[in-house]
Structure 1
Amino acid sequence: MVRPERPSHTLKVLSANVRGLRTNIGDLTQNCVLRHSADVVVVTETWLNNEVEPTFGKIRGYTQWSRRDRPERAGGGVAVCFKDGVQAQHLDVVPPPHMEVIFFRVVLADRSAILLCAMYRPPRQGPASLQYLTGALDELMLEHRSRHVSVVGDLNHHLEQHAYENLLTVQGLTDHIDIGVARDEATSRTVWLWDKADWASLRRDLSHTAWGTLLRDGADNVSLALTSRLLAIQRRHVSHRYYTTKPADQPWFGYRYRVAAEAKYSACLCYKRNPTRRNKDLHRAACRRMVVSIKWAMKKWEEDLRRKLRGPGVENKTCSIGSGGEFVYMALL
């Protein structure tokens, strides 16, 4: 939400409740940040803590994340990053201890400034955070020489409607929630586990099929019948799993990593519901398994790509491989 007076320079701000930045960093980066070329990225419910290194999840072309993690328990958290070139200053504002909020001063092209407030208000927190903004925004704008103000994040305003409407009225803010972005649809594919196939039964089914009766009545019908019969036999004797691919998935993001990420997410939810020592250990173990899966998946993808690029079909197409396994593609299409 912002004050209705519009600055002379448009600032594109993207806000997302990610419910786990480590799990959803790929989707956020490709499907939202880079696609819409956001100037400012605000994410809430990062679920990060001091065990996560400050450089985690840095997006190419953007600053390192400025974070306010939730130190005392799992969940919550706010993080903000800016496109390179955006003049933004992290303000040393000390809010009430219960608030998950970060303040910035963002300079526009006409040298005016926006006071940016990135905030997450948990559903059961009560109206105190909204009441703090109602009373503090004017003073903060004056102190930091900001002509405009923008409050971005997940305020769960529907649970404290009176305090929220009071904030809008007193500060003269315009509500811009419920603005979505277009996304490509996810697609599903089948992962065949050929090393677990029952080859003897598969050969027996193939040999007992009445191919002469099945493959007749024109080329189109023969093609359809052959494909349908082979797939039916394959499903019967080859172990398989269904895997959903999202448009924003990284190229190395495969079935093995998806399983590890979902296991980590489930362990995190279990620990949040019942924060026992055992559940904490299980969550940490799931996190370690996910890290191992990431390294394995990235290494395998890089090896496969190198093998393809060395193949005879590459011809004179070029590819530059940077340090640390970073790939820079040139004229590959």
Structure 2
Amino acid sequence: MVRPERPSHTLKILSANVRGLRTNIGDLTHNCVLRHSADVVVVTETWLNNEVETTFGKIRGYTQWTRRDRPERAGGGVAVCFKEGVQAQHLDVALPPHMEVMFFRVVLADRSAILLCAMYHPPRQGPASLQYLTGAQDDLMLEHRCRHVLVVGDLNHQLEQHAYESLLTVQGLTDHVDVGVARDEATSRTVWLWDKADWASLRRDLSHTAWGTLLRDGADNMSHALTSRLLALQRLHVPHRDYTTKPTDQPWFGYHCRVAADDKYSAWLRHKRNPTRRNKDLHRAACRRMVVSSKWAMKKWEEDLRRKLRGPGVSAVLMGYEAGFGPVLNGLRVPRA
């Protein structure tokens, strides 16, 4: 049972890479767990195996360690224990054999639940484990009725930055490890839907423009007048949408990904308010669209980047490109031929 005095908004979690639990259990217990009165303790690189008894290292006032040892060779491993009184359930999740991860459902005093993922991602393992989390997290939260998710452990994410950032972006997670990096402010962007433009009306208005009257009084004034007229007609005849880019958005995360992410979040809220079978299916469909949109955007961005790197280099006219839309010529988006 959850202790009644525990506030619903507090859960103290301690995460440590111990590099050998047998040699560091004393230091971990007295200088970390007991000193900070942690509710949940997650340790990685336990270096334990099946020769170590299951009762090893039990801390007074805490449950026995729930372990996932590395079976094939020395090293690695994950172990988790909970302060007595914390209501937690170890989830039976079918995992790829290479993953060193465990999932728990932790219930708070307000009866909401957290999906706790305790994970060790070894160096040089590749992105597969992070990609698994990206695809499986939503289904796990729905299946086990968890409102929140928390990923704890040693992910060595600096070695798989692309997969790690994709996990944060696709699942809408926040990295709470503060490394003191300055972040840019959010900026607004306009997306022009050139495939839906009213070209006949645009050509008509261009032909009816009094260019002789508009373009006069010096080169600077003419340039300004031309740009203003073209942008005004563009905004009038080309459907467009404004959206805000976040400082944490990846370079491939464009308008389509933002729409998919917002739809997924709305579907999640709808399912939580009314957990019907239909709303569950709608949320899962929104999750699949989010994954598909992200994969498409990443592939498109990589293809565009390779094309630019193979190009002739920077010329007098700077050009850019946004996935799914037209190129940019001196700040003005124009339709593709």
TM-score after normalising by structure 1 = 0.51
**Which letter maps to 2:76?**
G
- Runs of 4+ in structure 1 displaced over 6 angstroms? none
Q: CA deviation at 1:176?
A: 1.7
Amino acid aligned to 1:130:
L
Give the partner amino acid of 2:41: V
- Offset from partner CA, 1:221-276 (integer Å, 9 cap, x none): xxxxxxxxxxxxxxxxxxxxxxxxxxxxxxxxxxxxxxxxxxxxxxxxxxxxxxxx
Match of residue 69 from structure 1 = 69
Where does 1:15-34 land on structure 2 (aligned, <5 Å)? 15-34=15-34
CA distance in structure 2 between the aligned counterparts of 1:106 and 1:8, rounded to whole angstroms = 12
Residue in structure 1 matched with residue 99 of structure 2 by the alignment: 99
After the TM superposition, which residues 205-220 of structure 1 pair with which residues of structure 2 at under 5 Å, given as runs?
none
SS in 1 for 2:153: strand
| Alignment partner, residue 151 of structure 1 | 151
Question: In the alignment, which residue of structure 1 is the partner of 2:165?
Answer: 165
Partner residue of 1:141? 141
Aligned amino acid, residue 170 of structure 1: V
Q: Which residue is 1:35 aligned to?
A: 35
Quote the offset at 1:128 in angstroms: 0.3
Tell me the secondary structure at the aligned position of residue 32 of structure 1.
Answer: helix
1:3-48: per-residue Cα shift (whole Å, max 9, x none)? xxxx942111000000000000001001100000000000000000
User: Any stretches of 5+ residues in structure 2 without a counterpart?
Assistant: 1-6, 180-337
Give 1:121's aligned residue. Answer: 121
**C-alpha separation in 1, matches of 2:124 and 2:28:** 26
Q: How does 1:165-314 map to 2 (within 5 A)?
A: 165-177=165-177
Amino acid across the alignment from 1:152: V
Q: Deviations over 1:187-223 (max 9, x none)?
A: xxxxxxxxxxxxxxxxxxxxxxxxxxxxxxxxxxxxx
Distance 1:23 1:178 in 2: 29
How far apart, in 2, do the equivalents of 1:178 and 1:43 lie?
Answer: 20
CA distance in 2, matches of 1:145, 1:60: 31
| Distance in 2 (alpha carbons) for counterparts of 1:79 and 1:107 | 19
- In 2, Cα distance between equivalents of 1:60 and 1:177: 29
Root-mean-square deviation (CA), in Å?
1.2
Alignment match, 1:88: 88
1:104 & 1:28 partners in 2: Cα distance?
Answer: 22
SS in 2 for 1:24: helix
Distance 1:13 1:173 in 2: 17
Please give the alpha-carbon distance, in whole angstroms, between the structure 2 residues aligned to 1:167 and 1:55.
35
Q: Secondary structure at the match of 2:53?
A: coil
Partner SS state of residue 53, structure 1: coil
Tell me which residue corresponds to 2:52: 52
DSSP 3-state at the match of 1:46: coil
Report the residue type matching 2:73 in the other structure: R
* Aligned-partner residue type, residue 114 of structure 2: I
Match of 1:43, as an amino acid? V
Aligned twin of 1:320: none
Give yes or no for the alignment of 1:13 onto 2:13: yes
Residues matched between the structures, number: 173
Secondary structure of residue in 1 paired with 2:48:
coil
Q: Which amino acid aligns with 1:48?
A: L
Query: Which SS does the other structure have where 2:51 is aligned?
Result: coil
Cα offset, 1:98, TM superposition: 0.6
Question: How far apart in 2 are the matches of 1:61 and 1:99?
Answer: 30
- How far apart in 2 are the matches of 1:40 and 1:21? 16
What amino acid is the match of 1:136? A
* Separation in structure 2 between the aligned mates of residue 108 and residue 125 of structure 1, nearest angstrom: 34
Hey, what does 1:79 align to over in structure 2?
79
Q: What is the rounded CA distance, in whole Å, between the counterparts of 2:178 and 2:67 in structure 1?
A: 24
Distance 1:140 1:121 in 2: 19
How big is each residue's C-alpha offset from its partner over 1:275-319, in whole Å with a ceiling of 9 and x where there is no partner?
xxxxxxxxxxxxxxxxxxxxxxxxxxxxxxxxxxxxxxxxxxxxx
Closer/same/farther in 2, CA of residues 161 and 146 from structure 1, 3 Å limit: same
Percent identity of equivalent pairs: 90
The residue aligned with 1:317 is none
Helix, strand or coil at the partner of 2:168:
helix
Cα distance in 1 for residues equivalent to 2:28 and 2:8:
28
Q: How far apart are 1:96 and its partner, in Å?
A: 0.7
5+ residue gaps, structure 1: 1-6, 180-333
TM-score norm. by structure 2 comes to: 0.51
